[in-house]
Amino acid sequence: MRLLITTDTVGGVWRFSQELTRGLLDAGCAVAMVSFGRQPSASQLSECQALTHQWSEQFRFISTDIPLEWMQENWRSFDEGAPLLEKTIREFGAELLHTNQFCFGAVQIGIPTVVTAHSDVLSWGRACRSGDMEDSEWLRRYRKLVQRGLDRADALTAPTVWMLQALGEGFSLPSEKRVIPNGRTLPAPGKRVRRLQAVTTGRLWDEAKDVALLEQVRSPMPLVLAGDTEYDGVRSGMMTGVSLLGQLNEEEIVRLFEESTAYVCTSRYEPFGLAPLEAALCGCAVVARRIDSLREVWGEDALYFGNAEELSQILTRLYVDAAMRADMQERAYKRARRYSRERMTKHYLELFTMVTTRTREAAGVA
């Protein structure tokens, strides 16, 4: 099967699409990937160059700085992105478009379209803001772009039941919809010296990640934050009691996780959470905010907190209780291995095959 996949270079969608692309290539598919949001970083370009070197003509990467539909200049998103996708579909001979942006569900060029919902502005607003989001031309455009993409898509997926239901509170959804958890495959944790430290990742300015909560935590275990500290050219300030490492590449993040004891997910809005999954695969215990989506992903294999005081108590217990640390690390690791690249790819391929077969039958093509 020949597929066109869209991605963005700003958040976790990049890692998701890289994992799925690797799985699809391993399964014999050909993949063209188009990125949006901003030009890729050096490490992101390096990942795609490695795929091109390994898979040659089976993989193609096209980068753009066309804004994402949630960005302020979202009037450009579809009008500039759709013609590029249509051109790539023709040149690559794509049989299906898998878009990780809602708006491109409305691209109509004779092949089926699957949309994956990683998050949306309305459910983000309900989690991060008090009251309804302020009406604006930008928000009206966003609603229109999302709904039009959902209306015209052949199928919709989300990584959790929670995300699917949350999206449905603000938008009408296609009849064909599925929950396919995200997947990540990493080598077994290396034999590094593991420090008694708790790590988290996230953009310092991102309300959804709420990493500022860490400044209220009192823990004998050092707190370490890796993530972007700059947004639109504005650099965020320092954080009291937290070591800031700045933005790290994939190799550096994995090394940090392998050297840490626990991963703290402070997010008040996290439709799935790839970072805690990666950390667990590297041997970290998972300490997560008590929100429905994280409970769905981690069940009883994580420790949960509701405020800074509870988080402080959990980190203190992990610091002093070696048996508890080992137990929670093992439980998180076993749970994380359920969410593999292979399992995710299998479910997406089943959906892609079903949708393309249905489309061909409807068109009377054998």
Q: Are 189 and 283 in contact (CB under 8 A)?
A: yes
Helices 121-128/161-168 angle, 10° precision: 100
Q: Which residues are paired to 35 by β-bridges?
A: 7, 63
Q: Which contiguous run of DSSP H or E holds residue 265?
A: strand 262-265
Give the Cα separation of 244 and 69 in Å (integer). 30
Distance CA(17)–CA(72), nearest Å, equals: 24
Please list the pLDDT of the chain residue by residue as tens digits (366 residues).
999 999 999 888 999 999 999 999 999 999 999 999 999 999 999 999 999 999 999 999 999 999 999 999 999 999 999 999 999 999 999 999 999 999 999 998 889 999 999 999 999 999 998 777 889 999 999 999 999 999 999 999 999 999 999 999 999 999 999 999 999 999 887 777 889 999 999 877 788 989 889 999 999 999 999 987 654 443 445 577 888 888 888 889 999 999 999 999 999 999 999 999 999 999 999 999 999 999 999 999 999 999 999 999 999 999 999 999 999 999 999 999 999 999 999 999 999 999 999 988 887 765
With tokens 């001979």, the residue in question is: 93
DSSP secondary structure letter of residue 58: G
CA–centroid distance for 94 within its chain: 24
**Gap between the Cα atoms of 297 and 295, Å rounded:** 5
